[in-house]
């Protein structure tokens, strides 16, 4: 009987994993573009300036569909990241993050964005994540430096390059 229960649980787990992966758009080139930032854009003009600065079209990502600028949560929720990645619909009133293991933007199960001045809709394009600032209040700022995937010069919310070191004390 316990073997039967474990088998059912394993099947459920596999189905959930397959379900999550089916709502991704993998893109190897995204890994080259991940950059830790202290803030994400707060309005359309700041988003456009940051997207122009990031210049996603300059990367050779022909194999990636809809390779666009994003500013979202990091996969460990310890920072915000700018990344060029295929856009997708985020469904379920939840925030978005970038997962390097899946090389994709992904919805954050259970991290709702229905509170705050700009409530996220049930479905929105991942490039619009910057509109839902309450998602960024969930960042668990790390006290240790990030050493993988991120470049060292974070941008400000207006898209300007920050020339000072971004060290946590």
Residue 67 counted as domain residue = yes
| Predicted local distance difference test score (pLDDT) of residue 11 | 55
Q: Please, which residues have CB within 8 angstroms of residue 157's CB and are 6 or more apart in sequence?
A: 39, 40, 41, 42, 46, 50
Contact (CB, 8 A) for 110 and 118: no
169 residues of the chain, pLDDT tens digit each: 666 565 555 555 444 444 444 455 678 888 999 999 999 999 999 999 999 999 998 887 777 878 999 999 999 999 999 999 999 999 999 999 999 999 899 999 989 998 877 889 999 999 999 999 999 987 876 544 443 333 333 444 444 444 444 433 3
- Looking only at the bridges linking them, the beta strands covering 104-112 and 94-99 are antiparallel
Residue 119: give the domain boundaries.
26-138
**pTM of the full structure:** 0.69
Among residues 28, 40, 20, 2, the alpha carbon closest in space to that of 136 is found at: 40
- How many structural domains compose the chain? 1
| Predicted local distance difference test score (pLDDT) of residue 8 | 58
Distance from C-alpha of 133 to C-alpha of 156, rounded to nearest angstrom: 15
Residue 68 counted as domain residue = yes
């Amino acid at each position: 009987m316990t073997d039967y229960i474990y088998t059912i649980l394993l099947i459920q787990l596999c189905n959930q994993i397959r379900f999550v992966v089916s709502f991704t758009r993998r893109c190897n080139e995204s890994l080259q573009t991940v950059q830790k930032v202290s803030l994400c854009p707060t309005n359309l003009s700041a988003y456009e300036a940051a997207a122009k600065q990031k210049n996603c079209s300059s990367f050779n990502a022909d194999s990636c569909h809809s390779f666009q600028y994003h500013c979202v949560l990091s996969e460990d929720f310890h920072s915000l990241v700018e990344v060029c990645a295929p856009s997708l619909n985020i469904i379920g009133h939840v925030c978005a993050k970038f997962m390097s293991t899946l090389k994709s933007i992904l919805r954050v199960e259970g991290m709702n964005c229905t509170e705050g001045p700009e409530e996220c809709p049930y479905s929105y394009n991942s490039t619009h994540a910057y509109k839902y600032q309450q998602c960024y209040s969930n960042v668990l700022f790390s006290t240790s430096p990030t050493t993988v995937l991120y470049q060292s010069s974070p941008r400000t919310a207006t898209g300007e390059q920050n020339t000072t070191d971004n060290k946590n004390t």
